[in-house]
Amino acid sequence: FFFAAATPQTMPYSTGMFSFFDDLPVLLYGVGCGGCLAVHNSVIAADNQAAFGLPGDMITEKCEFAGCAANDGAICLNAAIYNCFEPVYCLWRKQVREKTGVDGSLPGDIVATCCCSYAAVMQDARELKSKGLAYGDMK
């Protein structure tokens, strides 16, 4: 009885993996630059921090004179990681699921990202947007 109360509530994704036309701005962003969308999803899921505890803020500090935002260092580091090893997104998808309370498993994330990576990235972006965590200005 008391164990059920301590377990976080999870639910399925609010949209299907191939529900591309549910959100046209996310579709256009994903088709135009799916890698960029993947990197933005990862930074949002990690609360504007770089992956694996890397010091993204050190990069931002060095570039403040150029008008860098607080999470630009994290975006740069995650982009470098993603460009070198694209399958890392299956770990980032797990972070998105945990942040949004979506049910799933790491094996499912691996299958989704390896078979249909941009569809999975766009599904994650739609989920983040539906929870009000990101992409609110994309209408």
pLDDT at 1: 43
Angle in degrees, 0-180, between the axes of helices 24-45 and 89-100, rounded to the nearest 10:
90
Closest among 10, 94, 8, 1 to 51, alpha carbons compared: 94
For residue 91, pLDDT beyond 60: yes
Q: Picking from 2-6, 32-36, 81-85, which range would have the lowest pLDDT averaged per residue? A: 2-6
Model confidence at 4, pLDDT cuts 50, 70, 90, reads very low
- Would you state the structure tokens that stand for residue 77, as one six-digit string? 């580091």
Cα dist from 51 to 10, 70, 101, 121, whole Å: 24, 15, 20, 16
Predicted pLDDT of residue 94: 94
pLDDT range class, residue 2, cuts 50, 70, 90: very low
Share of the chain above pLDDT 90, in %: 68
pLDDT at 139: 56
Per residue in 40-62, pLDDT tens?
999 999 998 999 888 888 877 77
Q: Is the dihedral of CA 88, 95, 112, 137 positive or negative?
A: negative
**Residue 9 has what pLDDT?**
60
DSSP 7: S
Residue 25 pLDDT level (bands cut at 50, 70, 90): very high
Closest CA to 80 of 50, 114, 105: 50
Q: What is the distance between the alpha carbons of residues 118 and 111, in angstroms, rounded to a whole number?
A: 12
What residue type is assigned to position 25 of the chain? P
